[in-house]
Structure 1
Amino acid sequence: MTERTTPAYAELHAHSWYSFLDGVDAPTTLVEEAVRLGLTGLAITDHDSMAAAPHLAVAARGTGLATVFGAELNLQLEGERTGTPDPHGTHLLILARDPDGYRRLAGAITRGHLAGEGKGRPVYDLDDVAASADGHWEILTGCRKGAVARALAEKGAEAAEKELRTLMELFGPERVHVELHATGLPGDDRRNDQLADLAARIGLPTVATGLVHYARPDGHATYAAVAALRARATLEEIDSWLPPGPGMFLRTPAQAARRFRRYPGAVGHAVDLALACRIEFDTDIRPRPPRFTAPDGHDENTYLRELTYEGIARRYGTRASRPDAYAQAEHELQVIKALGFSGWFLISWDVVRFARAQDPPILVQGRGSAANSIVVHALGISAVDPIKYNLLFSRFLHPERDGPPDIDLDIQADRREEVLQYVYAKHGRENAAMVANEVCLTSKFSVREAARILGYSPGAVDAISSQVDRHEQIPAAHAEIPGQVLALARRLEGRPRHFSIHSGGIVICEGPIAEVLPVEWARMPGRSVIQGDKEAAVDAGLVKHDLLSLRALSAAADVLTMLADAGTPMEFADIPADDPLVYDMINDGDTVGVFQVESRAQISVAPVMRARTFRDLAVQIALIRPGPGASGASRRYLRRRSGKDAVPEIHPTIDRILAVSNGTVLFQEQAMMLAIEGAGFTPAEADRLRRAMGAKRSLPGILALRERFLAGLDRLGISSATAEDLYQQIESFSGYGFPFSHSLSFAFIAAATAWMKRYHPALLLTGILNHMPMGFYETPTLIADAQRHQVTVNPVHINESRAKTSLEPLTDADRAAYVPVHRHASPHPQPPVRLGLITVRGMGTELAETIERERDANGPYTDIEDLVRRTQTPTLILENLTAAGALDTFGQGRRETLWAVGAVAGTRPDHLPGTTPGTNAPPLPPLTFEEQTFAELWAGQNAAHHPMQPMRPRLARLGVLEAEHLGELRHGRPVRIAGLVTHRQRPPTANGICFLNLEDPTGMINVIVPAKTWAALDRRTRYAGALLIYGTIEAQDGSVNVVAGRLTPIVVGGAPDRSRSFS
């Protein structure tokens, strides 16, 4: 052991919050506290996890803190660690001695997880674990659940010695260390004395640890709370299992020396071990990037060059005709080659090539910053022309970038699995894995759990948690929530509970991924994920590729298939993007079902925006983002767009950069170009500014660059006030602004689905219904909108409906009789839509396909008994089919059919037809108009009549106007409206304003609820399914809203609440 004249200490047993619901603090917090206390080193040793490793490495950069990587394995785990105050299992604490030890430990953890029966239940073979070590690990005997300490407590010193000798035999005596920990618990000293005596007798060193579960003493209350949450118990119930006070926190070297003064060498040995096990993650562990096998005669660089110039010629023509395109391609290829990223571009190209080579092709499109690259455009990954739209390549990639760029792909959702399986097959499952997503404690869940673990009754817990919205932060005070609940809930909020599967992130590397970050099972059967989210993957040096499922592309693919089946094949890329009639429809806010522009906010903006080109549409999509909203850019842009305000002339350079957005900073590329061309930043510095804008805690990073930015604009002669205004607009991007390239990519899909709605609304409705849920609207709203556009929608029918929604033949009479009446109805008669069986509530795809397959093979169903005998359809689904009207064909009223459902519940295939007793009901009255309407809505169908139709006479007497008449009213006129609430939104940038969308039999109404009005509402009114509203008309530039003054809940019979809340 090294002699030291001043106290030194390293903590080798610490749990971060990745020991889910056991450790309390983030790895960053533990590092910050360790540095503040003057520790020599820190090991984070989470349960069966190394998720903290990249976070530990990043947080410790430049601090001098020795980073040690390890884990505490749960051997003989009998079940999940949740639901019990003291989970079973024997602990084994392992520290990686060197980079090879790190990789071996990550691999051992992976094998344990994948050997288990499911998520959170690893199964380790101790001999396999020991074989993995091969001298590259240091073994600590662990806490009271370690094999040695447990044997000592339960069976005495002889049993403890036996367990210790087993560890020595398995891992080597020179690699085993007897752990002493002092947490302030009764019995610590006695146990440590016994362990120290045992170590001395056998000749092993002792090592001091703090058994750390939180960084500072004030974390003890949070530790108790998460322990109760994990145990699904109250604090009172779990009290006897918890330490009486703070003890498991990081200590200074002097405190550690005092704690372990009875055990000479234990503290010093901790320091020696930390220095011996120090690993520089960035250099020692960083994986090799994935390689692409180029054809014979090529390496990655030459093959990428060949493919790029083939694409440039195809898209732009000859070098003589478009020297600008060829010059940009050459510049990008040189940057890509210098950074060593050619293989990554080829991998992305290969994924897209595979998707489009399928029959039928899988719709796939690049999104995000990748569209800034002409190489990406030439490879066919992105449809966006970066030269035409003056995009900035350095937003995507520049020579000083320290990691590969993101090339994100949107893939039609129903076929993404084909693409994922191709990636696995191409690169091997060892080298490709899905990224995890951290599932954190939300505000509402935190309040609920805080109330529960404090011992409130179930009814009180429900009442308390109902006061908090899922998307709201926990308030500092609330009249209906006890202060102790709020205080505890704030301790819980935001802490991770477990990992789930990321929506699309997949990582690929040259070697086994499990040697970089362990892999574990996800909840989805057969799916595994790395122990880390996308930020952790990037910090670990793993190359991430987002293969995102997009249901809008699935719907669009279905439309293209239906067009081909009808004899009018079309490619997605050939759909017109500048059709004037399509933009007329968008500008009227007639966009239900259209990707990205169907929200309440987009419908409100459209009449003011008056988009006429594809570029306009891309700008419109970007306006409804928190960044532009917070900066006021959206408001300024629209006022200038409508001619109310003039576009300012600032400086020729600035004016050129901001021309696309009427002098406002709307896009991330503009912020970077202002920094480069206006303030003299390098592309790398501008990219750092951009990253600061998008980081979760970005404002300090932006402030650090503020002075340089303002000084650069001053050199251009721009006034300090104008420069400050531009800076403030850039700062707002910490609320997430779009890159222009991303907006353009989305605009292609928006334009395509708008064109489909304008010319083929029946086909688009069919595509959307077959891929629900998607977008903003529920099935009844989508159907009602299609019917307003003169689309016939036939109800679900047990003998006519297929499993999925489908088209029915258009008769010659229908063609002859068709006259477009709706302003945006298709010029062509539309085939009727027959709702599919899967639209019925509770009907799964498997059962729906069984019903269709059996009917096709053996003929129509003759009665309900026949249906059950042949398909074994469950009672609940029979009831919903009855409510939907799907069984009306059997000739009985719906009450009689429901009677028969109970009688046939036990019918089996071997029963003789017609022998089930009780299927003939006595005479029963038919359903009333209201009952039938609400039954159909409950079953997930669009009722033949709007639920509010019966109320119209009474509402008319109250002076309530319908949606179709609001456009006739002048600005400022008082008005009364009523409708079902379909949406409510409270964006964080709206200063407390709530936006509602109401639906009545004639259409939809946008409602603005001022902040003071919303704050004064009781919860019943805020979340009512239907409202009567007294307000005033706000009519500006063709956009009509109602500003609410008084809101009253109304009951619409038994109609189900279809409202949805968004932040």
Structure 2
Amino acid sequence: MSWFTGPPSWGELERVLNGKPRRAGMPLTDPPIDGGDSPAFSRKRGVYLPPDLPLDQRADSHVPYAELHAHSGYSFLDGASTPEELVEEAVRLGLRAIALTDHDGLYGVVRFAEAAKELDMRTVFGAELSLGAHPESIARTDEPDPPGPHLLVLARGTEGYRRLSRRLAAAHLAGGEKGKPRYDYDALTEAAGGHWHILTGCRKGHVRQALSEGGPEAAAEALADLVDRFGCDRVSIELTHHGHPLDDERNAALAELAPRFGVKVVATTAAHFAEPSRRRLAMALGAIRARHSLDEAAGWLAPLGGSHLRSGAEMARLFSHRPEVVTAAAELAEQCAFGLELIAPQLPPFDVPDGHTEDSWLRHLAMTGARERYGPPERAPRAYAQIEHELEVIARLQFPGYFLVVHDITRFCRENGILCQGRGSAANSAVCYALGVTAVDPVANELLFERFLSPERDGPPDIDIDIESDLREKVIQYVYDRYGRDYAAQVANVITYRGRSAVRDMARALGFSQGQQDAWSKQISRWNGLADSPDVEDIPEQVIELALQVSNMPRHMGIHSGGMVICDRPIADVCPVEWARMENRSVLQWDKDDCAAIGLVKFDLLGLGMLSALHYAVDLVAEHKGIEVDLAKLDLSEPAVYGMLQRADSVGVFQVESRAQMATLPRLKPRIFYDLVVEVALIRPGPIQGGSVHPYIRRRNGLDPVTYEHPSMEPALRKTLGVPLFQEQLMQLAVDCAGFTAAEADQLRRAMGSKRSTERMRRLRGRFYDGMRERHGITGEVADRIYEKLEAFANFGFPESHALSFASLVFYSSWFKLHHPAAFCAALLRAQPMGFYSPQSLVADARRHGVTVHGPDVNASLAHATLENQGLEVRLGLGSVRHIGDELAERLVDERNTRGPFASLLDLTARIQLSVPQTEALATAGALGCFSITRREALWAAGAAATQRPDRLPGVGSSSHIPALPGMSELELAAADVWATGISPDSYPTQFLREYLDALGVTPADKLLDIPDGTRVLIAGAVTHRQRPGTAGGVTFLNLEDETGMVNVLCTPGVWARHRRVAQTAPAMLIRGQLQNATGAVTVVAERIGRIQLAVGARSRDFR
């Protein structure tokens, strides 16, 4: 394995970790990474790697020119190239500088700046402001051509940037909702202060618009207003040439205005894409923005034929009568250009008690917590020594404020009864453990602090806090209140075009019908790319061509799952803030990678559904069974819990409920808590494709001996039986084998995982080999094998600290499933959406464990699922009923608690205003059965009851007479339940086909373990999941469920291709295949797939 080629391939990983020799000519290519939920896998977009731009492909740049007006994909449907592509093309064309001027924001400036820095291109930052024609501004996607002028602003240096960012934020917040900025033109004038440069802009600019509508004099008035507001030395007339017949005439009229007002004239391309090949995509995006087809939008879409970047020489030819306007653009860019790194912010000072500094206050809190965790220093000298060491490093790196903020957030959670825990490498820190941020003792577990924080670190540590998802909003609002909305904001998430959305939107742009758009998009699987995919057959070539071009382009901005930034200055000085669609949430215009690149300190407040479920379970057991459960005092060695897991009885259990985990549990046979730690880490891309799973399981079960390449590896690998699983082990191996310090070991880990650390990697590799030779005399093949194992796991190893944090939740959830299955089921239903399984599957599993589940009832249900009969039975909540929702369900329950049960359907509708669809949904769900009427009778009466209210005249509405109607059959009741709530409480769809399936010879799921391994079987069931991990080599996994249990089905690429349409879309299947159950876990390797029809609906959850 070569050490300078970046991450190894999966095949190379497996070869190294199994000690196999390299095959001759084995390629060294990057792996198709799919990190799943592994925190070891970086979901960052990574550092920008510039393309190779040979000199002979670069345009002649003898004419100085800079592009001052360019839109990227971050103009959201008004730009057809990424910021990086604009920079790359600017370099190829030999431009002196390039500006990014996206609409109403600075969304793409960090990516733009990163690419420009790598390619040595000067940058100008600006924005095109949509001023609007009236105070109630219109979103740019609400009308084909929104009214009102645009103002193109270029920032002159960092102060200009700060002022522009602030005004953008003010406009977005003043607009009151996402996508509708409202600018105060006078405030813009005042804000400029000589730090902006204004271009007259494109056809929507004040001057161009006035020229088109009122002629030269109107244009002169508009220019006079700009000059009066911003000064003649801060305004330039912008000329563009897109090949339109009137371009020359318009440019001449505009240029003639310049001497009258003492302003300069510059040429731009007003670029909306980098290269001419993106023209049609730009037109298609414009049509999508206006919600029209290209043909319908042809009348108003601006001509974009020439809206691509051009070289100085080409611009000089276009403006041959005014060559000075081309060079003037380069001169203006020189005045405005600066690097974005100059705006780097810091954390705000933390408010500490009088007499303390941040350092001393952190020390006080850590030592106070240490006495609670460890007792007095003489009882735990190692722990206190570790805390002292960590505090010294934290102080040296000037990070105490960061730890104080995290402690403050977790303190708020504890004081407000909100379950939370720090995750990831933060659990390597004894200070975090003492502060109560994490629940894992790093000293007892021998975790390396330097995996979390080392003296050489160039940025703040990364502490993720898991918070119970249903209460996370309280924590987010606390951060806003504590630090001020001007100084705190959530991080954005860029929603990009993927296969289905790309096909749908491009088909719409090309004028295909809604039905055709939906049909084509649905046949694209979530796993295949569009290029050379079998999914694209029958889709017109022009749709696929545009869809390929738009893939991975920004579609819109969302909110990151948990990232918040806190800043020492108003955040709007660094990045504009705007309203999110969620109520009372303000969000940055940058994503987490942008924030990290600039230096904004991010805190991840992540919602974890299992923490909510555990909280609900504790409360339900206390309320209905009178048992107080303290999670921290559970016996982590209880054999019955491990026995349940060894049977793969883990539906609903945190982290070990997936089909891969269920297949591994009977093989691993967890017996102690550390087995759960390993189980969490084992089913991850690195161990799976690196070949660690089978060797570890065989060693754990005594089938293979535990061996090491060299005795010096034993201390690091002893816990995992000589098989490397954790990133901390990589670092410990460097310490033990080569004499590295822990900080040096972390440098090695980082360098191995980086494609840009070639020179540093060369030095560290030499140091590692020297250390092995000097300390232990390790040389030759043994040295190579040790180093290769380290390199193999550098990218994909899992942090042991993270696995320890999650293993606790595995045990807690398993304990509740074993001892309180009804409470566990109700808790999971309350915490939805979460986990791997649908509520239908969770209820079916609970029934198989002896739990009785009742449907919703207006006189018995709460808003959410609850318990009955001393906590042994589950009652579904009213909020689960279609059209009802949480708010109305709470009102129903409050009314019942205040004024007593509802006496009749008319009493219900008199006291609670319900629409006809809401009343009918309650009737369909059986929630009106307490009134001694059948579901059909309730449905008949629902319309009349909903329209007979006190505010209406008697007799107005439907007839309230209920005729005698027959009851529903069991099948009809199940179908009604699933339609109304998504759950059939006392049945499963396949049971109504059991007689037919038995006649076909179908084996029920619960009988498959009794059949000899290798037997060909016929199985059937509803599809609960389809999953194709990126690590599986094209294999797709299906999960079928019948009334008796679940079956994992493996589909090879060939089988999937032969049955693709059925396999991809059928809600229920009949599958013939070969049974594999020798290890105690059932898998059927599919050979033939067919469709079966269920009278009761079922929907699958499809995962990567």
Class of the TM-score when normalised by the shorter of the 2 chains? over 0.9
Note if 1:761 corresponds to 2:761.
no
Match of 2:53? none
Counterparts of residues 124-139 of structure 1 (less than 5 Å): 124-139=183-198
Using the alignment, how far apart are the partners of 2:132 and 2:733 within structure 1? 60
Counterpart of 1:322 in structure 2 is 380
Counterpart of 1:905 in 2: which secondary structure?
helix
Q: Which residue of 2 aligns with 1:525?
A: 583
Cα offset, 1:422, TM superposition: 1.6
Contact 2:709/2:786 (<8 A) preserved: no
The total of aligned residue pairs comes to 1032
Aligned mate of 1:298, from 356, 363, 376 = 356
Pick the aligned partner of 2:179 from 107, 120, 132. 120
Taking the aligned partners of 1:62 and 1:536, their CA distance within structure 2 comes to 16
Partner in structure 2 of residue 816 of structure 1: none
The worse-fitting range, judged by mean Cα deviation, of 400-409 and 5-14 is 5-14
CA 1:482–1:661 in structure 2 vs 1: closer, same or farther (change >3 Å)?
Answer: farther
Equivalent residue, structure 1, for 2:1052 = 1010
SS in structure 1 at match of 2:1082: strand
Structure 1 partner of 2:1011: 969
1:519: Cα distance to partner? 0.6
- For 1:355 and 1:111, how far apart are their aligned partners in 2? 32
Q: Is the 8 A contact 1:651 1:718 kept in 2?
A: no
Aligned match of 2:996:
954
The change in CA–CA distance for 1:30 and 1:677 in structure 2 (over 3 A counts) is: farther
- 5 Å-filtered alignment, 1:389-538, equals 389-478=445-534, 479-538=537-596
* Superposed CA offset, 1:399-442 (max 9, x none): 22222122111111222122122211211111001111111112
Look up the match of 2:126.
70
Instruction: Give the equivalent residue in structure 1 for 2:775.
Output: none
Equivalent-residue separation in structure 1 for 2:718 and 2:954 (angstroms): 75
Partner of 1:785: 845
CA distance in 2, matches of 1:457, 1:1043: 39
Which of 530, 551, 567 aligns to 2:609? It is 551
Question: Aligned partners of 1:206, 1:351: CA distance in 2, in Å?
Answer: 54
- Of the three residues 139, 143, 146, the one matched with 1:80 is 139
The CA deviation at 1:155 is: 0.9
AA matched with 2:855: P
Matches within 5 A, 1:447-846: 447-478=503-534, 479-565=537-623, 566-674=625-733, 700-701=755-756, 715=770, 716=772, 717=778, 723=784, 727=788, 730=791, 738-810=798-870, 830-846=871-887
Pick aligned residue for 2:399 from 341, 364, 381: 341
Gap change, CA 1:183 and 1:802, over 3 Å in 2? same
* CA drift at 1:64: 3.7
**Offset at residue 733 of structure 1 (A):** 6.7
1:144 Cα shift? 1.6
Q: Do 1:90 and 1:146's aligned partners in 2 also have CA atoms closer than 8 Å?
A: yes
Distance change in 2, residues 1:995/1:723 (3 Å):
farther
1:862 aligns with 2:921: no
RMSD, matched Cα: 2.7
Residues in 2 aligned to 1:344 and 1:155: alpha-carbon distance in whole angstroms = 58
1:368 partnered with 2:424 = yes
- The question of 1:173 aligning with 2:229 is answered no
Task: Determine the structure 1 residue equivalent to 2:331.
Answer: 272
Identity of aligned residues (%): 47
Cα distance change of structure 1 residues 95 and 739 upon mapping to structure 2, 3 Å threshold: same
Separation of aligned partners in 2, 1:944 and 1:224: 54
> 1:673 offset after TM fit, Å?
4.6
Question: Which residue does the alignment assign to 2:440?
Answer: 384
Kindly tell me: are residues 626 and 185 of structure 1, through their superposed partners in 2, closer, same or farther at Cα, counting changes over 3 Å? farther
Flag the 1:636–1:208 CA change in 2: closer, same or farther, 3 A: farther
- C-alpha contact (below 8 Å) 1:55/1:539 kept by paired residues: no
8 Å CA contact 2:944–2:960 kept in 1: the answer is yes
Match of residue 875 from structure 1: 916
More deviation in 411-420 or 851-860? 851-860
Structure 1 partner of 2:41? none
1:661 is displaced (CA, Å) by 3.6
| Aligned residue in 2 for 1:162 | 221
Contact preservation (8 Å) 2:1074, 2:1084: yes
Name the counterpart of 1:885: 926
- The alpha carbon displacement at 1:133 in A equals 1.0
Distance 1:523 1:263, change over 3 A: same
1:968-1018 CA-partner distances (Å, limit 9, x unpaired): 122111222221211111111111211111112221112212221111114
Give the direction of change, closer, same or farther, for the CA distance of 1:718–1:849 in structure 2 (3 Å limit): farther
Q: Which amino acid aligns with 1:148?
A: V
How far apart in 1 are the matches of 2:832 and 2:1005? 26
Change in 2 beyond 3 A, CA 1:520/1:676:
farther
Give the TM-score of the pair, scaled to structure 2: 0.89
Q: Secondary structure at the match of 1:900?
A: helix
Deviation track 1:98-137 (CA, whole Å, cap 9, x = no partner) reads 2222111101001111111421111111101111111111
Where 1:1036 maps in the other structure, the secondary structure is coil
Shift of 1:759: 1.6
Alpha-carbon distance in 2 for matches of 1:213, 1:187: 20
Using the alignment, how far apart are the partners of 1:757 and 1:558 within structure 2? 13
| Shift in alpha-carbon separation, 1:601–1:450, aligned structure 2, 3 A | same
| CA distance in 1 between partners of 2:320 and 2:396 (Å) | 56
Query: Which string of whole-angstrom CA distances, capped at 9 and with x for unpartnered residues, describes residues 617-672 of structure 1?
Result: 12211222233333333344334434454444212344433444444443333445
Find out whether 1:853 has 2:911 as its counterpart: no
Distance 1:638-1:1016 versus aligned 2 partners, 3 A rule:
farther
Deviation per residue, 1:842-878 (Å, 9 max, x gap) = 3211111222122222232232222212212222222
- Cα deviation code 1:535-555 (max 9, x no counterpart): 111122111001111221111
Assess, with a 3 A threshold, how the Cα gap between structure 1 residues 688 and 144 changes in structure 2: closer, same or farther.
farther
**Which residue in 1 is equivalent to 2:1091?**
1049
Rate the CA distance shift 1:24–1:406 in 2: closer, same or farther, 3 A.
Answer: same
- 1:732–1:214 Cα change, 3 Å: farther
SS at match of 2:101: strand
Q: Alpha-carbon deviations, 1:240-297, whole Å to 9, x = none?
A: 5557675222233333333333224323322222222222322x31113222111111
Tell me: CA distance 1:176–1:672, structure 2 relative to 1, closer, same or farther (3 Å).
Answer: farther
**Counterpart residue identity of residue 32, structure 1:** E
Aligned equivalents of 1:448, 1:916: Cα separation in 2: 43
- Separation in 1 of the partners of 2:114 and 2:511? 40
**Greater shift in the superposed pair: 488-497 or 864-873:** 864-873
Q: Cα–Cα, structure 1 residues 158 and 466, in superposed 2: closer, same or farther, change >3 Å?
A: same
Contact 2:941-2:961 at 8 Å conserved across structures? yes
Aligned to 1:976, the other structure's residue is in SS state strand
Q: Deviations over 1:193-240 (max 9, x none)?
A: 221111123221112222122222322233223222222222333345
Moved more, 765-774 or 701-710: 701-710
Question: Which residue is 1:815 aligned to?
Answer: none
Change (3 A) 1:426 1:201: same
State the distance in 1 between where 2:758 and 2:1040 align. 43
Q: 1:366 to 1:477 in 2, by over 3 A?
A: closer
Alpha-carbon offset, residue 448 of structure 1: 1.8
Three-state SS of the structure 2 residue aligned to 1:382 is: coil
Aligned partners of 1:878 and 1:274: how far apart in 2? 65
Q: Give the whole-Å Cα distance in 1 for the aligned partners of 2:780 and 2:361.
A: 50
Instruction: Specify the alignment match of 1:824 in structure 2.
Output: none
**CA displacement at 1:926 relative to structure 2:** 2.0
Once the two structures are TM-superposed, the CA of residue 382 in structure 1 deviates from its matched residue by 0.4
Q: Which has the higher contact order (CA 8 A, sep 6+)?
A: 2
Q: Which runs of 5+ in 1 are unaligned?
A: 811-829
